[in-house]
Structure 1
Amino acid sequence: MSHLTPPLSSTSTGAETLAVQWTPPAGWADTIGLELGIEAWRIPLVIASGVLIYLMFLVFVRIFGPRILGKLASFDAVVIVMFGAVAGRVIIGHPPTLAAGVIGLLTLICMEAAFGAVQDLRGIRHAISGNPIVLVAHGRFVAKNMRKAHVTKANIYAAARRSGITCLEQVKCIILEPTGELSIIREGTNMDPEMLTGVVGRDLI
């Protein structure tokens, strides 16, 4: 009875459909070149985008203070992740490819290495990273410096709790570092004056 035998065309069509699903429409060779490679004219654009994004990030850190680099609140961490997403998309461009990503990362690494090498020069280090700044001196807030650094009392209280400080009277000084971290020195601790070189507000300690 012929109606019980599956038509050969149905089986053949299914195999062809399966093959199409695993094979790019343009073929593997063209697709790999498109997804992983990069046109030569895009290379200088990726490099220029990486350099400009790096420089603009340095400018924004100088404007808004190193606080944005520190993990002073959960929202700050979200913002840092968003910075990375936006910067990465701008640098890689469209379409995003493996080669573009590698070139973008290499550009950022080279920029970081170059600026790291010149930061030994005091003037350049100050222009790039700024100086550490005193936010609390002998248990008292330094309001002017806090406004300049865009740091709130809540940020300082949170950092003090993490360090086991139960009241600000236990604090000799709290210094915001160029990295965005808060350094906390307890009252009664002797400090080498050299440790305060370049610190804004060191005369308050």
Structure 2
Amino acid sequence: MIRLLGVSWVVAGSVVIATLAMYAAVIVLVRVLGQRSMANLSSSDLGCVVALGAVMGRTMLLRTPTLVSGLIALVTLFAVRAILGALRSHPAVDRLLSRRPVLLMDGGQVLADNLRRARVNENELRQVLRLAGITRFDQVRCAVLERNGAISVLRDDGQLDPRLVADL
């Protein structure tokens, strides 16, 4: 039956392997390039993502994509996403898949080494501070590059619950 739909079991297996390899490659590249590589995409970043999707899709579907091979790749991607979502509850897997948050500012002081390590420049940091309504650096308790690539800003306006910064 599957042969009638244009895909043999060997091709179906190849699609699964290619899809897993491409998914793993994206995770590794994002991990190497840093969280900011996927946050707040500019127009050139969006063009890159679209091209990346085309390359990944073509690679996952092999030389002669069919409806069934496309569905196999789609199901594989959703399955991997669901499995990784479940595995993230284990701290070791979570650390492997995501970088830790990075402290960018502490008590109004910009931490230049951490900015450099996180590949965030001061212009990006200032933009985030303005968007958070910060008018003076001394208003900032801390600024954090989060695991998802976003930068969060906590104001210095009272007692900070230590649980909010326990993972820093």
Which TM-score bucket, shorter chain as reference? Answer: 0.7 to 0.9
Q: Which has the higher Rg, Structure 1 or Structure 2? A: 1
1:66 aligns with 2:35: yes
2:108, 2:120 → 1: CA distance?
16
Aligned residue among 148, 151, 158 for 2:127: 158
Task: Give the letter for the 1:57 counterpart.
Answer: V
- Are residues 1:188 and 2:157 paired? yes
Identity %: 31
Distance 1:188 1:72, change over 3 A: farther
Looking at structure 2, the residues matched to 108 and 118 of structure 1 have their Cα atoms a distance apart, in angstroms, of 15
1:19-41: CA deviations, max 9, x gaps? Answer: xxxxxxxxxxxxxx99x743332
Residue 119 of structure 1: aligned partner: 88
Aligned partner of residue 142 in structure 2, secondary structure: strand
- Aligned-residue offset at 1:72: 5.5
Stretch of structure 1 that moved more, 105-114 or 72-81: 72-81
Alpha-carbon displacement from aligned partner over 1:125-154 (angstroms, at most 9, x marks no partner)? 111112111112222221111111111112
Cross-structure match for 1:144 = 113
Q: How many residues align?
A: 166
Residue 78 of structure 2 is aligned to residue 109 of structure 1? yes
Amino acid at match of 2:17: A
Q: Which residue of 60, 76, 84 corresponds with 2:53? A: 84
Q: Where does residue 42 of structure 1 map in the other structure? A: 11
Q: Distance between the aligned counterparts of 1:116 and 1:54, measured in 2?
A: 14
Q: Which has the higher contact order (CA 8 A, sep 6+)?
A: 2
Deviates more, 1:186-195 or 1:44-53: 186-195
Task: Extract structure 1 runs of 4+ deviating beyond 6 A.
Answer: none
Per the normalisation by structure 2, the TM-score is 0.87
- Partner-residue secondary structure (3-state), 2:144: strand
Write the letter of the residue equivalent to 2:120: V
Gaps of 5+ in 2: none
**1:62-116 Cα distance to aligned partner (Å, 9 max, x none):** 2111111201644333333333222122111222222222111111111111111
